[in-house]
């Protein structure tokens, strides 16, 4: 390998792993799916908490 080629390789390795377009797309949709999943769970736990508390939540001394 020429000196220039070796220098280019080193510079490329210093940039970290370069993802293919397919890998970038895969990571993006996985991130969106995880985000939606976490949001769904947050809403579900909130709603279940409200249902379990029921009307009792209003019965407290002020």
Partner 1 sequence: MSDASYFDESAAPKLPVAAPLDFIALLKPRVMSLVVFTALAGFLLAPTLPHPLIVFAALFAIAVGAGASGALNMWYDADIDAVMRRTRLRPIPAGRIDADAALAFGVVLSILSVFTLGFVSNWLAAALLAFTIFFYVVIYTVWLKRLTPLNIVIGGAAGALPPIVGYAAATGDISMSCLVLFTIIFVWTPPHFWSLAILKIDEYGSVGLPMLPNVSGLQRTRLEILIYCLFLAPIGAGPWLLGFASWLYGFTSVSLGLGLLYLAAQLFFARDETAIRQAARRMFAFSIFYLFAVFLMITIERVLSLMGLF
Contact positions vs partner 1 (CB under 8 A): 9, 13, 17, 19-20, 22-23, 26-27, 29-30, 33, 41, 44-45, 47-48, 51-52
The residues, ordered by sequence, that sit 6+ positions from 31 with a Cβ below 8 Å of its Cβ are none
Structure tokens at 20: 């293919």
Nearer to partner 1, 49 or 61 (CB): 49
In sequence order, what DSSP letters do the residues of 9-30 get, joined into one string? HHHHHHT-PPPPHHHHHHHHHH
Q: How far is the CB of 23 from partner 1 (least distance, A)?
A: 5
Work out how close the CB of 56 gets to partner 1 at its nearest, in angstroms, rounded to a whole number. Answer: 13
């Amino acid at each position: 390998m020429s000196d220039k080629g070796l220098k280019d390789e080193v510079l490329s390795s210093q940039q970290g792993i370069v993802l293919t377009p397919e890998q970038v797309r895969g990571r993006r949709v996985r991130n969106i799916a995880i985000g939606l999943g976490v949001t769904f769970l947050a809403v579900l736990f909130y709603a279940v908490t409200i249902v379990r508390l029921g009307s009792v939540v209003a019965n407290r001394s002020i």
